[in-house]
Copies of this chain bind each other. A is one copy, B any other.
Amino acid sequence: MLFSSEPLAPLVRKLLNIHPLSPEDRAAVLSLPSIVRQLEHGQYIVREGDVPTHSCLVVSGFAIRHKIMGDGARQIVNVHVAGDMVDLQNSLLKVADHNVQTLTAMEAAFIPRAAILDIAFSRPAVGKALWLETLVEGSIAREWIANVGRRNSLTRVAHLLCEFAYRLDAVGIGKQCNYELPMTQEQIADTVGLTPVHVNRTLKSLDAAGLTTRSRRSVVINDLARLAEVGDFRSIYLHLPQESLAA
């Protein structure tokens, strides 16, 4: 099932999570012009400085957005999963201010930027949902500033694991207490602003405390409430629909 018949279905699901859409709105989103492509692991989708003409929807797989510092260091500023519009930011602003790269093999749907703007203003509900989607991204970014700026390594990593628990659960990839995270410890390090070595020690101490059980890329959270406590995690900033919060 490499090419699904309705590649934009994950986008509809995502937008519905944020804002109600009429059947016509949903149909309009599904019939947006798009080109579906299979991308390999590690492939760049957008590079800083590009002037993109399309936005990219993650149909399946993972992508990251990152910035490279002057000294070569990398900071991952977001991780994207199925249903995420990976570069509304880069597409609507004239010039890309950061890189987008696949984390795994990925199925992507490219939508012309003009089509996005069209639907956003011809169908206010869709426009509002898209806008809210970008606002939620902003909210996550703010939480990451706080995570990286004001929390110690243990709290920081625990927080990230909690965030993935909620986000992956929300889109039906894995359960809150058990999911696959296709990131190396080096990539986690570049996400939380630590070194790979220290991430390794930190993950180990979460395991040692009985909070998580890891093997390879699989994460099992033994006690989400306790991990959230350690990770200073409250899910408000994800702005998920109530069902997920209640779980």
Contact = CB atoms under 8 A, between A and B. Distances in A.
Contacts of A92: 131-132, 135
A138 interface: yes
| Size bin of chain A's contact surface | 35 or more
A71 B229 CA distance: 11
A94 B142 CA distance: 17
Contacts of A202: none
Interface string A97-117: 110000000000000000001
A146 B76 CA distance: 8
A193 interface: yes
A172 B193 CA distance: 35
Interface of A: 48-49, 65, 67, 69-71, 73-75, 77-78, 88-89, 92-95, 97-98, 117, 120-121, 124, 127-128, 131-132, 134-139, 141-146, 148-151, 190, 192-193, 232, 236-237, 239
Closest 7 CB pairs of A and B: A149-B193, A141-B141, A75-B146, A70-B232, A148-B149, A121-B124, A97-B237
